[in-house]
Structure 1
Amino acid sequence: MRAARLIRMALLVQSSPGLTADALARELGVSRRTVIRDAQALQEAGVPIRAERGRAGGYHLAPGHRTRLTTLHPTEAETLYLSGLPTALRDLGLSDAADTARLKLSATLLPSLRAAAESSVRRFHLDAPAWFREPSAPDLLPELARAVWADRTVRITYARPDGDDAVTRLLEPYGLVLKAGVWYVVGRVPAGRNGTWRTYRADRVTALSPTEDEPFVRDPDFDLTAYWRANAAEFARTLLRTTATLRLTGRGLGRLPAVADPAGVAAALASASAPDAAGRVTLELPVESEEVAFAQLSGLGGEVEVLAPEGLRARFREQARVLAALYGGAGQR
């Protein structure tokens, strides 16, 4: 365990000279005191690592020194081949480059490692989209990806999910996220002193044009993975712009998580009333729109009654009328 951490620390300092003890502690998941002890252990093992003070300080290797601890272990080679997502790379227009990179990597590996790496591809495959959803790459995704790579500010036109007028904004695109088969772009809207961080569904970007400005300067403290983990749930809640009042049977309540958005279901269950004499509960379900709610709740059939809003209730009345006309009389032969 410690040997692997020491190797990783040496490689981190080699690839990113000037990392502080606190930065290394975060990367390695240890305390600052452990980093200092590990640096001493590396020095005793002959690795010329040193800590420097001042604005350009941090940990450095001696000038010209490069560690020889870069030989891949078979398990590392296997996991390296799992780091690429074929579907995502294709959507981004990078599949040819990825194929070439894998060929170059294979050519540099020892035969034993090459076999280990290639075997992982035969054993694991990530299918990101959910069941019963046909994935499709947004038309502007490759152009968005190029802007992300080039740190290029873009002007986007974005269709709101509620059908209101589209909006146009300047955006500094920091990264792209693939979530359950849906692409999202995370970036900063530069208006104001510090800008505002925003997340947009890529398939709702209807127009995109790069500006002629110089590339924007990235915030060195921004971490896409950490941002997504911290903000994904809140972003999902912002999509739920209206509320439906429902009365559900016990069976309908049990099936609700299978048809509605998880973020909305969690809030709805917290608001649920006690069961009435017939065992039905009343709750407030946050939904994206009446149209989306109708499509989702139709799957519950008679296990749910919509009490409000009236527009959504009217949709179900019309559906009931059509179904009664279709199934109420004698069937045609």
Structure 2
Amino acid sequence: MRAARLISLVLLLQARGTMTAGQLAEELEVSERTVYRDVEALSAAGVPVYAEQGRNGGYRLVGGYRTRLTGLSREEAEALFLSGLPGPAGDMGLADAVGAAQLKVLAALPAPFRDASARAGQRFHLDAPGWFGNADPPPLLARLAQAVWGDETVELRYRKQDEVTRVVEPYGLVLKNGTWYLIGHVGDGHRTYRVDRITAVEPVGEMFDRDEGFDLSGYWAGQAAAFLRSMLREEITVRLSPLGLRRLRYNVEPYAAQRAAEEAGEPDEQGWVTTRLPVESPDVAYTELLRLGPEIEILEPVELRDRMRETAARLAALYRQPLYR
């Protein structure tokens, strides 16, 4: 553990320049006293860590010192080649940069670990798009990626019911289930745009000052949760058999299935549970829950229960007589 922490400390100073003991302690999740001991150990081992005193002081590496990646374990080296996705990187026009970076990392790795890329590629592959999605990236994705990297303000034309125009500060791109989204700052807040609905991207000739405190992953997680809450705006009451409860997550939104499982009551003498299930609408619920057949019973609303009963009666009538050929 300490060896890994010492390497992390050196890499932090290498990447960020000067850091205080408090900043290092926060990053490494240790006390400042532990940082002082670690710096002493690094100095004793010949790593040129220098302490600057004063208001803007802190620790830094002397003389452009750069550590080689000799502290990597095999597991870390192999994980490194799983951290980037070649397909999405290529979609954004970064395939050459990713390839060059991997070659440089391979050259810096210790000789026993240089098969890490091949081992990872032989064992893991991510196919991000859904089965029936369009495999081709949106035509303007690469141009948007350039704007994101360069903090370049752009004017978008975006297709909704009608085509609209917006001046956007592009903060980031997100790939969700095979669909690309642009997160942009517009006016006093951030907005989300589907990239395949963007019909034109034009530079406005100016850069924007990025809010370094903006957390792209945190923003997306909040947006996704809000979207689910807005989409699943109604609830129905159901009874589920043990098999129905297990199969529920394959037939409805996983978030809804999880909520239903968490709120389920105690099983009755037949093993069935009663719970509340979030749904988009009774019509959508009717289509989704028919697939569970006799493993689910709708209790409320009465209109949906009546609709399921009528469908069950029609099915019974259809299959009442054997099929003669």
Would the TM-score normalized by the shorter structure come out above 0.5? yes
Residue deviations 1:17-37 (CA, integer Å, cap 9, x gap): 133334323332323332233
Q: Does 1:189 align with 2:190?
A: no
2:211 to 176, 199, 219: 219
Residue deviations 1:223-252 (CA, integer Å, cap 9, x gap): 444555x63763453353421413223232
**Cα distance in 1, alignment partners of residues 15 and 153 from structure 2:** 28
Residue of structure 2 equivalent to 1:174: 171
Q: Which runs of 5+ in 2 are unaligned?
A: none
Q: Does 1:122 align with 2:122?
A: yes
**Cα distance in 1, alignment partners of residues 241 and 135 from structure 2:** 37
1:286 to 278, 295, 299: 278
| Seq. identity, % | 42
Q: 1:302 to 1:70 in 2, by over 3 A?
A: closer
Residue 50 of structure 1: how far off its partner (Å): 1.7
Amino acid corresponding to residue 18 of structure 1 in structure 2: T
Partner of 1:82, secondary structure, is coil
Residue deviations 1:185-221 (CA, integer Å, cap 9, x gap): 47353423xx34x5x4746745453551523222223
Residue of structure 1 equivalent to 2:240: 249
Residue of structure 2 equivalent to 1:87: 87
**Cα distance in 2, alignment partners of residues 84 and 239 from structure 1:** 32
> How do 1:200-279 and structure 2 match up within 5 A?
200=192, 202=194, 205-207=197-199, 209-212=201-204, 214-225=206-217, 231=222, 234-235=225-226, 237-251=228-242, 252-272=244-264
Residue of structure 2 equivalent to 1:21: 21
> How do 1:28-177 and structure 2 match up within 5 A?
28-46=28-46, 47-54=48-55, 56-62=56-62, 64-71=63-70, 73=72, 75=74, 76-103=76-103, 105-106=105-106, 112-128=112-128, 136=135, 139=138, 140-154=140-154, 155=156, 157=158, 171-177=168-174
Q: 1:269 to 1:66 in 2, by over 3 A?
A: same
Amino acid corresponding to residue 65 of structure 1 in structure 2: G
Work out whether residues 92 and 142 of structure 2, in 8 Å CA contact, stay in contact via their aligned partners in 1.
Answer: yes
Q: Does 1:4 align with 2:4?
A: yes
Amino acid corresponding to residue 233 of structure 2 in structure 1: T
Q: 1:325 to 1:69 in 2, by over 3 A?
A: same
> How do 1:294-333 and structure 2 match up within 5 A?
294-306=286-298, 323=315, 327=319, 331=323, 333=325
Amino acid corresponding to residue 242 of structure 1 in structure 2: R
Partner of 1:265, secondary structure, is helix
**Cα distance in 1, alignment partners of residues 267 and 311 from structure 2:** 27
Q: 1:107 to 1:269 in 2, by over 3 A?
A: closer
Residue 133 of structure 1: how far off its partner (Å): 6.3
Amino acid corresponding to residue 221 of structure 1 in structure 2: G
Instruction: Note the aligned Cα RMSD (angstroms).
Output: 4.2
Partner of 2:222, secondary structure, is helix
**Cα distance in 2, alignment partners of residues 269 and 120 from structure 1:** 36
Partner of 2:231, secondary structure, is coil
Count of paired positions:
320
Residue deviations 1:69-118 (CA, integer Å, cap 9, x gap): 44464624433323222333344343344334434554666654433443
Work out whether residues 264 and 286 of structure 1, in 8 Å CA contact, stay in contact via their aligned partners in 2.
Answer: yes
Residue deviations 1:139-187 (CA, integer Å, cap 9, x gap): 254444333222234546476xxxx9898765544333445x3446473
Structure 1 stretch 287-296 or stretch 252-261: which is displaced more?
Answer: 287-296
Residue 264 of structure 1: how far off its partner (Å): 2.0
Q: 1:170 to 1:138 in 2, by over 3 A?
A: farther
Work out whether residues 236 and 263 of structure 1, in 8 Å CA contact, stay in contact via their aligned partners in 2.
Answer: no
Q: Which runs of 5+ in 1 are unaligned?
A: none
Q: 1:314 to 1:21 in 2, by over 3 A?
A: farther
**Cα distance in 1, alignment partners of residues 185 and 91 from structure 2:** 25
Residue 16 of structure 1: how far off its partner (Å): 1.0
Amino acid corresponding to residue 125 of structure 1 in structure 2: H
**Cα distance in 1, alignment partners of residues 147 and 111 from structure 2:** 38
Partner of 2:114, secondary structure, is helix
Work out whether residues 18 and 59 of structure 1, in 8 Å CA contact, stay in contact via their aligned partners in 2.
Answer: yes
Q: 1:327 to 1:82 in 2, by over 3 A?
A: same
TM-score, normalised by the number of residues in structure 1: 0.72
